[in-house]
Amino acid sequence: MRKTKLWSSLLVASLIATGCQSGETKSSENSSKSEGDSDSPYLASAKPVEMSIHYHSGDGTFVFDDNWSVFKEAAEKTNVSLKGVAPKTSTNSAEAFNLMIASGEIPNFVYGNKNSINEYAKEGAFLELDKLIKEHAPNIKKLIDEKPEIRAANVASDDKLYVVPYVYSEGAAQGYFIRQDWLNKLGLKQPQNVEEYYNVLKAFREKDPNENGKKDEIPYFHRPFSTDPNLAKYDLVTLWGANEDLYLDGDKVKFGPIDENYGKAMQEIAKWYKEGLIDPEIFTRGNQAREFMLGNNLGGSTRDWFASTSALNEQLKDQVPGLNFVPFAPPENTEGKRVEPTSRNPVMDTGLAIGHTTEDPVAAIKYLDFLFTEEGRTLMNYGVEGETYDLVDGKPVLKDEILKSESVPEKLRQYGAQTNLPYQHDAEYENQFLNEIAIEGVNMYVENNYFRKLFPRLGHTKDEEKVISGTKTQLTTYINETVQKWIMGVEPVDHKAFVKELKRLGVDDYIKTNQAAYDRISK
């Protein structure tokens, strides 16, 4: 393949030209112990070494900064200090990754999408990690043994592991919210099923709960999410037992939009829209939908993240006296089930690989293993003791100045904590800044386990990727356009014709290819 050849020749050229690589470590583990003496039990190298890291994520949300105190602290503990080599000016992570690869100079640590890393790893750019982890990284090994889905989701098609991933928390993400103050005003109870939900939204529309004499209430609104701006709006389909994307039925991969329930759901959602129960501008309202709808005392109900949505009660209390926007249980759907379509996925699509020229791979993996120790985990989640948090009764408690910031995670990121580099996320820290409303909502959803089973993150071979990326774009475009026409009443819902078109666009191959990728990890 052309890319392989290009890659290999670049690699050879740079090896010959320089005789060394930019990613080379400046010391080896055989150095005499006396030179880098330290009491730390986490030493990855006997002598202080510097390793390079290419960390560019979220199109510039995260770019490694040598000044991050979290990694200065990690250097103290491990004797490994990191030097960032990703361009701070770039706002395109994929491009930054590709430029680094094309340069032929692979740093010691490289962050990226697992599929990209796995492809270049098979060409020799990155080291195999299974043996290194087994022999030198007991904390990573323990986590992978406890959660086999982490390895399964990250291995390349040759069944080898090349990335150490960030492991996110499990638990609640988004939930249903409703204006409790409006319910009280109208003498209504929280809706317990889809029919009651319809009746409540209808009452919000008809009975002037904002008491201005105008029929201006917008019962259901929704803010689009940048990750998947359109699909999120169709989360309501779960109220009719449908799915909006790939899902698992036992071990069978299925695609929600071709199911009969999806057509039924669309018919109902179109009806709700026609009756004014859904924001007429739901497709264009934008990211500030919550602030607009609640701040102007117009919106009645939504689905969104617990923390930021609950916080609006406090933020908007002067604008809308009595505002009480609270989480409620997902209404029972037409099949008698309460379904919350979202939850947190501990398995990510990205991770950190070790460059093939790394002189001391043992030090590199030991360094990453430190990030998975209790102490490393606290450092990566909470920052540096005395700077961002204090230990109270043995537990890290964030300092007031951190808790007072508008976004605690963003504040912590200024110190290098709460990134998506390899470590295990600790959702516990959120309890220090979530308000009571959010905590109650999260607990209700977790205790009752309303969450729909997550579709696993699959690793794809290059050939699978070809089928999937091309087809997925076509399917998504067609679905989004059609569904929008249906909901807005431009076209009547014709699910049969819709399925026929999806088949023409290759939905069967799309499902089959995902099934093959799923079968690889489920055996």
Residues that bind Ca ion (CB under 5 A): 208, 210, 212, 214, 216
Q: Residue 490, class by beta-carbon neighbours within 10 Å (0-12 exposed, 13-18 middle, 19+ buried)?
A: exposed
CB of 202 to Ca ion, least distance (A): 14
CB of 215 to Ca ion, least distance (A): 6
Among residues 228, 220, 206, 227, the alpha carbon closest in space to that of 269 is found at: 220
CB of 179 to Ca ion, least distance (A): 12
Closer Cβ to Ca ion, 162 or 182, answer by number: 182
Residue 360 and residue 362: Cα distance in Å, rounded? 5
Closer Cβ to Ca ion, 53 or 188, answer by number: 188
CB of 299 to Ca ion, least distance (A): 12
CB of 277 to Ca ion, least distance (A): 14
Closer Cβ to Ca ion, 213 or 336, answer by number: 213
Q: Please count the other Cβ atoms lying within 10 Å of the Cβ belonging to residue 249.
A: 10
Closer Cβ to Ca ion, 208 or 228, answer by number: 208
Closer Cβ to Ca ion, 75 or 201, answer by number: 201
Closer Cβ to Ca ion, 297 or 302, answer by number: 297
Among residues 30, 62, 50, 156, the alpha carbon closest in space to that of 419 is found at: 62
Closer Cβ to Ca ion, 83 or 185, answer by number: 185
Q: What are phi and psi of 305, to 5 degrees?
A: -65, 140
Closer Cβ to Ca ion, 238 or 297, answer by number: 297
**Is residue 138 within 8 Å of 376, Cβ to Cβ?**
no
- Asked whether the CA dihedral 264, 265, 269, 272 is positive or negative, the reply is positive
CB of 194 to Ca ion, least distance (A): 25
SS (H, E, C) 445-459: HHHCCCECCCCCCCC
Residue nearest to Ca ion (CB): 208
Closer Cβ to Ca ion, 208 or 426, answer by number: 208
CB of 210 to Ca ion, least distance (A): 4
CB of 384 to Ca ion, least distance (A): 51
What are the structure tokens assigned to 234, written together? 């169709």
Closer Cβ to Ca ion, 45 or 302, answer by number: 302
Q: CA of 331: how far to CAs of 282, 439, 489, in Å?
A: 21, 20, 25
Q: Return all residues near 341 (Cβ < 8 A) that are at least 6 apart.
A: 235, 238, 244, 452
Packing angle of the helix pair 374-382, 69-78 (nearest 10 deg): 160
Map tokens 């949505």 to a residue: 309
Closer Cβ to Ca ion, 19 or 213, answer by number: 213
Residue 510 and residue 17: Cα distance in Å, rounded? 45
Q: Please count the other Cβ atoms lying within 10 Å of the Cβ belonging to residue 79.
A: 25
Alpha helices in 19-68 (DSSP H): none
Alpha helices in 79-179 (DSSP H): 93-103, 114-122, 130-136, 138-146, 148-154
Residue 197 and residue 268: Cα distance in Å, rounded? 12
Residue 130 and residue 156: Cα distance in Å, rounded? 12
Residue 415 and residue 384: Cα distance in Å, rounded? 8
CB of 283 to Ca ion, least distance (A): 23
DSSP state of 58: G
Phi-psi region of 175 (alpha: psi -120 to 50; beta: other; left: phi over 0): beta
CB of 212 to Ca ion, least distance (A): 5
CB of 235 to Ca ion, least distance (A): 26
CB of 181 to Ca ion, least distance (A): 14
Closer Cβ to Ca ion, 215 or 462, answer by number: 215
